Structure 1
Amino acid sequence: MTGPREPDPLAVALGNASLLGAGYLLLGRRALFWAAAVVTAALLWLTYAVAGTWCELLVVLWWAAVVAHGWWLARRHPAAGPRRGQRVLALAVPVLAAAGWVRFDAYGIEDRVTDARADGSCRAAVDAQEEVGLRHRIVAAPVAARGDTVVEACERLDAAAGYLSGGLTGDLDMLEAAFERLGAVLGEPGNERTVEATLDRYLGRLPTDDGCRNVRIADWLRDRRTGPKDLTGPASATAARIGPGALAACGDALLTDEEWADARDVYRRLLDEHPGDGRADDAREGIRKADLALELIQVGNLLDEADGMDSGYCRNPARYSAAPAYRKGRSGAVFVGDTEYTDKLPEEWRADTPEAALVVCADETEAGDVVETCRYRDHEGRIGRVRFNKLAVRVKTYALRTGKLVTDRTVQIGGESCPGTLGYFGALPSRMAVTPSDADVRDAFGPVVGR
């Protein structure tokens, strides 16, 4: 018979090296087996939850401790007989190999995540990180956690991209929020390319189809002075790229909408900020059209307000540069002021504001030259004398093209005097006005308008 021998120390050490406590079972130490299992489970859970390198160091220290403890106990253990197959390589080696393979796989995933982030592709980084499973988070928790950090940064970039899309609608508050989020992610090492790619996708969608919206966005991008140069640089470059076209398109849109003053201001900005741009001639033409429209509006308002010689156009004449030049016998006129008699002038003498060459302001009528004096008997049979006067009207004529005074004179309108029967109220008047015909009115005003 052979004598008792100790359990194989190598087998016990390898059994414990699996972190399954198998070495303690070989020694028959079930209490130690269960205690080791509890500690191992606790450490693995801590590593999974915290994902810190120090947790992995604790696991390594625990692994070394149970291996050494199993070896030490086996050397001191008096066994009652031989134990076949005590070298549990079939258990320990596969476990250790599996753990090593999982860690190797985790590092491979991390490499793919890192490469994707370096290429600026959050989508590829997220897809790679989705391969991480529970086994990786237990055996290689810090490695898996580093990938989670990349995914979390990409999620924040997705949120920033949403705000950038809102900025495409002209919401500058959303654009500001987007750049703040981009700046925060950019401040964390390794995110430079993913931030750049997110910003480039937004900037590549500019300009939009709304010129005035593009002007607001370009102004905001150009005026952004604070923040990392990785953000302000592309923003300024994009503002320079879309700015001239945005101003031209905005001016055209405002001109179409008859927002004359705003259109003129935008075109002037284009000329001031980009004098060498190929759209400069179009901008000058736009300014000319806007100026003419504004002149026409001003003239129209003044004409509407002119109900006498001291109001509206008659008081503050203005020009309409596109008005036709005066041509004697052929030019039309606008008659304002006291229109009691000018309303009797022929229609062919008149013209609407854009086509008129003259503006004629007529004052209230006064007594003009005496035509003749006639005797009348009043209702009491007394005889009296009545003088009949022409109608005197002060007239000012302005050239609409320049707003300059052409004529300032008093015209006298003749007419019928000393009628056979005189109508009056009260006492017999000593003076009365002639009764002009339409021909008399034409004769009086004809020289004023060249007719």
Structure 2
Amino acid sequence: MDDPTYSVPPAPPLPPRPPTPPSVRGPREADPPAVALGNASLLGVGYLLLGRRLFALAAVVVTVVLVSVVVSTAERWAEIAVGVWWVAVIAHGWFLARSAARPASAGRQRLVAAAVALPVLLALGLLRFDAHTIERDVDEARTDGDCAKVLSAQDEVWFGHRMADAPGTADGDEVVDTCERLRDAGARLTTGLTGDTRALEAGFDGLGTVLDEPGNDQIAGTVLTDFLDGLPTDDACGTVTVTDWLRDRKPSRDARDRSADTAERTAPEALVKCGDDHMTAEDWTQARTRYQQLLDEYPENAALADQARKGVRKATLTIELENVRGLLTTPAAGEQPEYCSAPARYSGAKPYGKGVNRALFHGNDGYTDRLPGSWRTDDPVRAVLVVCAGAAQDGTAVRTCPYERELSPGSVVNVTFHKVAVPVKVYELRTGKLVANRKVQISGKSCPQRLSYWSVLDPPSDVQVTPSKTDIRDAFRSLIDR
């Protein structure tokens, strides 16, 4: 029996090979330190080393936005936000680089990253240091009260400084703004030295707003000192206006209160000089006011007080004399002036006393003009009395005489002769007081052989005597010569 023959069956066909999927491009090989250092520039260099261009672009955009916020707000929180962002991109770049394959050119990547990041960081550090230096100079100038140095130092600030240290440069800007406000206040105070009280008030208010802010005592004090050093000015009366305002202002409990001491020191001499200036200008009332102000407010200033008292006396006499002259002006010859109804005093006149008291006679000049010249004067400076004489009246009857009527021969009319009665008011010029108010009885000749009269009818039954100069003098003597 033959052996059976066995055959090997053919191998089944291999399954079809699946298609190769498309390749997905992963992170570029990068060195983590290089990526972190590149991102430390905040310019996305680390992301570029990883081949992450979108990340790099986003990093640059966010950095620009944050820097803009820092520069525009100048707030510390904005700088903190930049710091947080800086740490975040460094950490993120390191994390991404660690997940990628290690490159063979790590050293070269580190050099590239350092070539970009280190200059940026160095420049930022130098700018920040320079900004701090400027800020220190501004603070020193502020402490010294020197706004000119403040402005000079802050003028060195540019955009780079503001980007590197925005809050510090903003502080300098605030000091510059303070100096600008002080410059405006100083200009108003300078105007105020002319006596412009509105400018003074505006200037002091400006100083007040600066002094309300901490740290400004010195620079505000410098402006105040410059203003106070301007006192006294060449215009004494303008100085008085300023010192009066300074003395009257309410205490503010700050550096501005120093002005009161300057006013106390400056005002006395200015008051006297102002009084003198008014005297020169013949403004007697204002002169007396300023002299009297010195006596009222600074009585302890003996030297100036004596001068002021003399000024008050002189101004007062001049005012009184001008007033008396005005009151003694007569509207027409023979009429009484206003003084006779509204007397006023002239303190410079001599008192009413023994001897001849020279008088200013007004009114009935038909009799007063016949008085002795030694009794009369037209100058109030030389007068002791003011005599106001009224219209003559019939006084005491002295004699009755018969007269024949011219129209009826043989018929007689009795005519009574009276003394001339002149009502007088006598005022003491020194005090303006009434010292006599009576009728002066003037004697004279009576019963002449022939009586003259104006009427065509019978002669009047009462007539006045005909006085002589001696009669008139005797009648007025008791008033004038004591």
TM-score normalised by length of structure 1: 0.86
**Which of 273, 293, 298 is the equivalent residue of 1:269?**
293
Mean CA deviation greater in 273-282 or 420-429 = 420-429
Q: Deviations over 1:94-139 (max 9, x none)?
A: 1111110000000000000000000011111111111100111112
Matched, 1:356 2:379: no
Question: Is 1:414 the equivalent of 2:444?
Answer: yes
Matching of residue 132 in structure 1 with residue 157 in structure 2 = yes
Residue 411 of structure 1 aligns to a residue whose secondary structure is strand
Q: Is the 8 A contact 1:309 1:315 kept in 2?
A: no
What is the CA–CA distance in structure 2 between the aligned matches of 1:80 and 1:325, rounded to whole Å? 125
Larger mean Cα displacement after TM superposition, 34-43 or 237-246: 237-246
Whether the 8 Å contact between 2:194 and 2:239 is mirrored in structure 1 is no
* 1:449 shift after superposition: 3.7
2:93 corresponds in structure 1 to 70
State the match for 2:66 in structure 1. 43
The answer for the alignment partner of 1:428 in structure 2 is 459
Q: Which residue of 2 aligns with 1:239?
A: 263
1:205 pairs with 2:233: no
Alpha-carbon separation, structure 2, partners of 1:122 and 1:175? 21
Residue 220 of structure 2: aligned partner? 195
The number of residue pairs the alignment matches comes to: 447
Q: Which residue of the partner structure matches residue 162 of structure 1?
A: 187
SS at match of 1:170: coil
Contact 1:306 1:314 in 2 (8 A): no
Deviation at 1:69, TM superposition (A): 1.8
Q: Percent identity?
A: 47
Structure 1: tracts of 5 or more residues without a match: none
Change (3 A) 1:267 1:139: same
RMSD across aligned positions (CA):
3.5
C-alpha distance 426-24 of structure 1, shift in aligned 2 (>3 A): farther
Q: 1:222 to 1:446 in 2, by over 3 A?
A: closer
- Which residue number in structure 2 is paired with residue 379 of structure 1? 407
Of residues 45, 52, 58 in structure 1, which corresponds to 2:81? 58
Q: Structure 1 residue 287 and structure 2 residue 312: aligned?
A: yes
Q: Deviations over 1:134-170 (max 9, x none)?
A: 1111121111111011111111212222332232232
Structure 1 residue aligned with 2:130:
105
Q: Aligned with 1:96: secondary structure? A: helix
TM-score normalised to the size of structure 2? 0.81
Aligned with residue 16 of structure 1, among 39, 53, 61: 39
The letter of the residue matching 1:134 is F
- Structure 2 residue matching 1:245: 3-state secondary structure: helix
- Which deviates more from structure 2 when the two are superposed, residues 219-228 or residues 31-40? 219-228
Corresponding residue for residue 246 of structure 2: 221
Amino acid at match of 1:392: A
Provide Cα deviations, 1:365-424, integer angstroms capped at 9, x if missing partner. Answer: 122444662523343556332344442224454553455637966231535845465431
Deviations 1:307-351 (A, max 9, x none): 999995556655433224679997642002433422344666432
Aligned to 2:23: none
SS of alignment partner, residue 169 of structure 2? helix
| Equivalent AA in structure 1 for residue 83 of structure 2 | V
| Aligned counterparts of 1:83 and 1:411: Cα–Cα separation in 2 | 142
Question: Does structure 2 conserve the Cα–Cα contact (< 8 Å) formed by 1:5 and 1:82?
Answer: no
| 1:118 and 2:172 matched | no
1:291-316 C-alpha deviation (Å, 9 max, x unpaired): 32343245445544899999955566
> CA, structure 1 residues 174+383, in 2 after alignment: closer, same or farther (shift >3 Å)?
same
Structure 1 residue aligned with 2:361: 335
